[in-house]
Amino acid sequence: MDFEWSPAQVERYQQIMRSARAQAVPATEHYVRDEWRWCGQLGLFGLSVPRRYGGLGLDALSTVYAVEAFGHGYRDMGLAFGTSAHLFACAMPIAEYGTEELKARVLPRMCSGELVAGNTITEDGAGSDVTALATKAVRTPEGYRLSGEKSFVSNGPVADVVVVYAVTDASLGFLGVSAFVVERDRPGVEASGPFAKLSRRCSRSPCGGSARACSPRTSGSWTGWSRRAAEHSLLGHL
């Protein structure tokens, strides 16, 4: 595999770094929506998302170089963490495993920065172990009803949509976990404010929250693919 940088990769790296270094960091405790939309203008939210869904369709190395440039150039590591969680832990699982209707509905708005996405795996009693989740998803005539609480939800306090992992068939072990996309305004969805942290204080990422109900119109799910989707999600936190 050729690891030499192409002219396009070098140009993109330098452009993102220049923009990041020139951008003033707001004097706020956490990142704000104006910063988020600016990241969308830089293309950070759709680096590896296919072009047909509003992304740039970059390969893995080009994506890594762009993320590195932003982290190197911008002084708010909380925002750098939040953007990566949005892309790798939310957008990419949806891009690879979501239905066409779901992808067409949410990915363009996620890539542009119109939407903030949150990743919800972690639970107080399970950590990030998807084989030990207590959150349940029960099929109803209207779709699924989710019940449970998540903790340390990346981008949670300001997320417009969240990727939720819940048990749909406990008898199947880890294969009985499904992933759902839930809009913030669904009845029963609640979110707390940011947790106090030792580092990455500018990030709104860690928060406590609960997801209790959703309907098929506002949620997409993919059963049996949750383990692979979770791999994307965990990589987004490394």
What string of H, E and C letters represents the secondary structure of the chain? CCCCCCHHHHHHHHHHHHHHHHCCCCCCCCCCHHHHHHHHHHCHHHCCCCHHHCCCCCCHHHHHHHHHHHHHHCCCHHHHHHHHHHHHHHHHHHHHHCCHHHHHHHHHHHHHCCCCEEEECCECCCECCHHHCCCEEEEECCEEEEECEEECCECHHHCCEEEEEEECCHHHHHHHEEEEEEECCCCCCEEEEECCCCCCCCCCCCEEEECCCCCCCCEEEEECCHHHHHHHHHHCCC
pLDDT at 226 over 60: no
| Domain 117-223, architecture per CATH | Beta Barrel (2.40)
Give the least confident one: 1-5, 18-22, 47-51, 223-227: 223-227
pLDDT of res. 60: 93
pLDDT of res. 150: 87
pLDDT of res. 122: 85
pLDDT of res. 44: 97
| 8 Å CB contact between 186 and 210 | no
- Under the banding of pLDDT at 50, 70 and 90, the label for residue 168 is very high
Residue ranges of the chain that CATH labels 1.10.540.10 = 7-112
pLDDT of res. 197: 59
pLDDT at 236 over 80: no
Closest CA relative to residue 45, chosen from 58, 35, 55, 60: 55
- Name the phi and psi angles at 183, rounded to 5: -75, 150
- Under the banding of pLDDT at 50, 70 and 90, the label for residue 47 is very high
Please give the mean pLDDT across all residues of the chain.
82
CATH 1.10.238.10 holds for 7-112: no
30-36 average pLDDT score: 86
Q: What angle do CA 36, 84, 183 make, to 5 degrees?
A: 65
pLDDT single digits (tens) 73-120: 998 888 998 999 999 999 999 999 999 999 999 999 999 999 999 998
Cα separation of 119 and 131, whole Å?
A: 17
> Residue 52 corresponds to which tokens in the numbers above?
């047909």
Q: Identify which of 14-23, 124-133, 166-175 has the greatest average pLDDT.
A: 14-23
pTM recorded for the entire structure? 0.82
Identify the residue with better confidence: 212 or 178.
178
pLDDT at 147 over 70: yes
- C-alpha torsion sign, points 179, 203, 161, 73: negative
pLDDT of res. 196: 63
- Under the banding of pLDDT at 50, 70 and 90, the label for residue 18 is very high
Q: Residue 7: exposed, middle, or buried by beta-carbon count in 10 A (0-12, 13-18, 19+)?
A: exposed
Residue ranges of the chain that CATH labels 2.40.110.10 = 117-223
